[in-house]
Amino acid sequence: MTKAKPAFPAPGHDHDRCAADALTHAEKVCKDRGQRFTPIRRQVLQALLSSHRPLGAYEVIDELAKTMARPAPITVYRALDFLMENGLVHRIESRNAFLACAHDHDDTSMVAFLICDQCGSVGEVPAAPVAKSLNDAARVTGFVPKMSVVEITGTCNHCKP
C-alpha cells in the first residue's frame, strides 16, 4: 500500500519552489490549450500563490497593489474567471475566496477541499466516488446537478494538538 501524498504542505517547505512549479504548470496548461497566459493572469495567479490560504478578490487586489498600480476589480475578476476555467484556480465557496491549484484535473475529476480552521490553509483530496454518489442520489429525484463542491472544515495535521 502506498502512502497518500499529504494534502497540506509542511510548514517549512520550500514555498518559492512550490510557487515556481505552479507557475510552470500554468504556463504548460495554457500553452497546451492554446490560451494566452497574459501578464495580469500571471500576476493574479502569483498573488494567490503567496500562501496556501484562499484569498478573496479584494485581497488579491491588495496583494497586487504592493508591486503595481492597484488594478480595477473587473480586471482581477476576469483573470480569476480565466484561471478557474483552465483549472488553475479553485473557488472556495464557503469563504468566497480563490485558491491556486497546480494539480492536473480532467473534466471528470472531483476534489474535496479540506479547510483548516486554525491556520486557514486549504488542501485538496480526490473525491470522485463521493461526488458520483451525491450526483446519482440527486438524479434519482429528478434533479439535474450542475456543480458539486465538497468542503470539509477541521484541523490540518500541522495544527492538530
User: 99 versus 52: which is more confidently predicted?
Assistant: 99
Q: Please, which residues bridge with residue 122 across strands?
A: 115
Highest mean pLDDT among 74-88, 127-141, 142-156: 74-88
CB 60 within 8 A of CB 80: yes
Burial of 110 (0-12, 13-18, 19+ CB in 10 A): middle
Percent of the chain with pLDDT over 70: 94
- Side-chain-facing half-sphere of 96: CA atoms under 13 Å: 3
Structural domains of the chain sorted by starting position, each given as residue range(s) with its CATH number in brackets: 15-100 (1.10.10.10), 111-154 (3.30.1490.190)
Instruction: Tell whether the model's pLDDT for residue 49 goes beyond 90.
Output: yes
Which tens digits make up the pLDDT trace of 100-124?
988 776 555 678 899 999 999 999 8
**pLDDT, position 1:** 45
Average pLDDT, the chain: 89
**pLDDT, position 111:** 83
